[in-house]
Chains A and B, each alone.
Chain A
Amino acid sequence: MPDYRQTQREFVDWLRDPDNAPAPDSVEMRRLRVYRRLIANNVNNFLRSGFPVLRDVLSKAVWQQLADRFIREHTAVSPYFSEIGKEFVDFLAAQQELPESVPPYTYELAAYERMEVEALFAVIPDELHQLSASEAAATAEDSRWYLNPSAQIGSFSFPVAWISADNAAPDPSPEGYFLLVFRPLKKEQEDQPARVRFLQLNPVTAVLVDCLRQSQSGLTRNELTQQLVQLLPQLDAQVVRTGVGQILPDFAERGVLLAAR
């Protein structure tokens, strides 16, 4: 290995793990620490802003331990700073076990908070638009419906959408939580930044959303109803038809479903 490679390896090994790796002997400690501080502060800022709830429910010391461990152990592949949070979720997912000091829902909460970021920055093609309830009801018959491309779907055993500093020790639920996070196209007020919303799905709406997610070219109300009738044989076809008729305009108005121009 050339000299410079060796130098880089020692330098970076120390930056990742200053408590255990040997310090490169040619460099003054004060200057080495500048680099460690810059890296730790930068990563920490991105993690804090990406996981505000997790940051809130962990003590400062535990949060710091987790961030340090992320820097020490994780091989981050994304060149995008806005994906440091995604790297953090990958890091948590890869942990065989987390320290006892972090709550059991840490990974699930982080994954959920990342879904919010992904929904916020997802690109929604210009061809898709959001209808009002009355427009949706009027055109429900002939429109092709698309799942909002910003939609992120996750299933959790903890009630991650309701965790906060005041509700920091919830129990897991045996049925679990099936959550959809999305960015509506219509804003509540002009000039307000786009806000991300979430929706708790039930077994039927979960299947409905899944049908739409799998279709590249959207589904008409009839196509959707037919698919659901096949996928939910335990339900009466007429019940499914009525259900779709109610859910479609509701989901359209919320912006979960979008129509093509």
Chain B
Amino acid sequence: MRRRQVRRSVGIGLRREFLADVLHETPAVGFWEVAPENWIPRGNEAQRELAEIRERYPLTTHGLSLSIGSPDPLDEPFVLAIKDFLNRYKIDLYSEHLSYCSAQGHLYDLLPIPFTEEAANYVAERVRRVQELLERPLILENVSYYAAPGQQIRELEFICQVLDQADCKLLLDVNNVYVNSVNHSYDPYEFIRQLPSERIAYGHIAGHFDEAPDLLIDTHGTDVKPEVWKLLEFAYQQHGVFPTLLERDFNIPPLAELCRQAQQISALQDAADA
């Protein structure tokens, strides 16, 4: 059996709301994650602050606008701007959404790529081009989706086909698996069990909003639900521990509280490693 890597690390999504507190208190956090789109065009102060964070912590990036499944041409100058950003702050990991957010122009929200073989081929080809430009592997996140227009194959098949054909990595968002399993009536444990362990680069966990019993919205605006913690625990048992990050984008609690919640990831990683 393949030797399990020790990959214990806990991160938090970095937000401007508490950036000053991070610099002031330097809490014990394994890594912070930023959206490059929110920092590239933001002037001196942002550059200075980010450089200061980078001196003290590892950073990962989680992009918003790559639009890997878009019918519009790949925005190569944008990919190169991302590359400059990664190089400038010495960042190894760049993740994005297995999704699209533009079609004849940007809509600035994550839309569901039709789950078809042809679409998977198309996306995989674009992923390869991005990897070539970035000279780094692209890490794609399984996104939450509220509708699956034009679906011909299962979500899991779609994801695995893209990962295989593009030879890229997976960002396993455990909350998204849970949200999707409710919204589209499947077994989240079975879904996670069938993912390829060797492709999981790292994970995300977050809170969601229950709009209806059969419609959960991935808001990142509440605490992580117990069902999702259980699913993360299962993911560690199944695939070994992987670095995992807590995302919180709305109703953000004080930094100390956020760190306490992130500690729960640490506890699960301890338990899985024991």
Residues of A within 8 A of B (CB): 2-12, 15-16, 24, 26-28, 30-32, 34-35, 38-39, 42-43, 46, 71, 74-84, 87, 120-124, 193-194
Whether A42 pairs with B106 at a CB distance below 8 angstroms is no
Whether A7 pairs with B103 at a CB distance below 8 angstroms is no
A residues near B67, Cβ cutoff 8 Å: 79
Whether A39 pairs with B45 at a CB distance below 8 angstroms is no
Whether A12 pairs with B217 at a CB distance below 8 angstroms is no
Question: Which residue of A2, A8, A38, A82 has the most chain B CB atoms within 10 A of its CB atom?
Answer: A8
Whether A35 pairs with B111 at a CB distance below 8 angstroms is yes
> CB < 8 Å: which of A5, A28, A71 contacts B147?
A28
A75–B100 Cα distance when bound, in Å, is 15
Query: Within the complex, what minimum Cβ distance (angstroms) separates A252 from chain B?
Result: 19
0/1 per residue, B79-119, Cβ < 8 Å to A? 00000000000000000000010111111110101101011
0/1 per residue, B191-227, Cβ < 8 Å to A? 0000000000000000000011001010000000000
Interface of A is mostly: helix
A residues near B111, Cβ cutoff 8 Å: 8, 11-12, 15, 35
Query: Within the complex, what minimum Cβ distance (angstroms) separates B82 from chain A?
Result: 9
> Which residues of chain B from 54 to 79 have a CB within 8 Å of any chain A CB?
64-67, 71, 75, 78
Whether B65 pairs with A80 at a CB distance below 8 angstroms is yes
14 A-B pairs besides A30-B215, A79-B106, A123-B43 with CB distance below 8 A are A3-B114, A8-B103, A8-B114, A12-B103, A15-B107, A24-B149, A27-B148, A31-B147, A39-B108, A76-B102, A79-B78, A80-B41, A81-B64, A81-B65
- Please judge, given known A-B contacts A4-B122, A123-B43, A194-B45, whether A9 and B106 are in contact too, CB under 8 Å: no
Counting CB contacts under 8 A, is B271 at the interface?
Answer: no
A residues near B102, Cβ cutoff 8 Å: 76, 79
> Which residues of chain B from 161 to 179 have a CB within 8 Å of any chain A CB?
none
A50–B147 Cα distance when bound, in Å, is 31
Whether B147 pairs with A122 at a CB distance below 8 angstroms is no
A residues near B113, Cβ cutoff 8 Å: 4, 8
Whether B104 pairs with A11 at a CB distance below 8 angstroms is no
Counting CB contacts under 8 A, is B251 at the interface?
Answer: no
Counting CB contacts under 8 A, is B254 at the interface?
Answer: no
B residues near A27, Cβ cutoff 8 Å: 147-149
Residues of B within 8 A of A (CB): 37-38, 40-47, 64-67, 71, 75, 78, 100, 102-109, 111, 113-114, 116, 118-119, 122, 146-150, 152, 183, 211-212, 215, 217
B residues near A77, Cβ cutoff 8 Å: 105-106
A75–B108 Cα distance when bound, in Å, is 12
A76–B70 Cα distance when bound, in Å, is 14
Query: Within the complex, what minimum Cβ distance (angstroms) separates B250 from chain A?
Result: 11
Query: Within the complex, what minimum Cβ distance (angstroms) separates A70 from chain B?
Result: 11
- Please judge, given known A-B contacts A3-B118, A4-B113, A4-B122, whether A78 and B150 are in contact too, CB under 8 Å: no
Query: Within the complex, what minimum Cβ distance (angstroms) separates A261 from chain B?
Result: 15
- Please judge, given known A-B contacts A35-B111, A38-B109, whether A12 and B104 are in contact too, CB under 8 Å: yes
B residues near A4, Cβ cutoff 8 Å: 113-114, 116, 118-119, 122, 150
A residues near B152, Cβ cutoff 8 Å: 3
Can you report 16 residue pairs joining A to B where beta carbons are below 8 Å apart? A3-B116, A4-B114, A4-B118, A7-B149, A10-B149, A32-B147, A34-B211, A35-B111, A71-B107, A75-B105, A76-B102, A79-B64, A79-B65, A79-B102, A83-B41, A121-B41
The closest CB in chain A to the CB of B148 belongs to A27
B residues near A124, Cβ cutoff 8 Å: 43-44
Whether A31 pairs with B146 at a CB distance below 8 angstroms is yes
Whether B146 pairs with A35 at a CB distance below 8 angstroms is yes
A residues near B148, Cβ cutoff 8 Å: 27
A76–B46 Cα distance when bound, in Å, is 24
Query: Within the complex, what minimum Cβ distance (angstroms) separates B200 from chain A?
Result: 26
Query: Within the complex, what minimum Cβ distance (angstroms) separates A193 from chain B?
Result: 8
Query: Within the complex, what minimum Cβ distance (angstroms) separates A121 from chain B?
Result: 4
> CB < 8 Å: which of B40, B107, B116 contacts A12?
B107
- Please judge, given known A-B contacts A3-B118, A11-B111, whether A76 and B65 are in contact too, CB under 8 Å: no
Query: Within the complex, what minimum Cβ distance (angstroms) separates A159 from chain B?
Result: 28
B residues near A30, Cβ cutoff 8 Å: 212, 215
A76–B109 Cα distance when bound, in Å, is 13
> Can you list the 4 inter-chain pairs with the closest CB atoms, starting with the nearest?
A7-B150, A79-B65, A75-B105, A4-B119
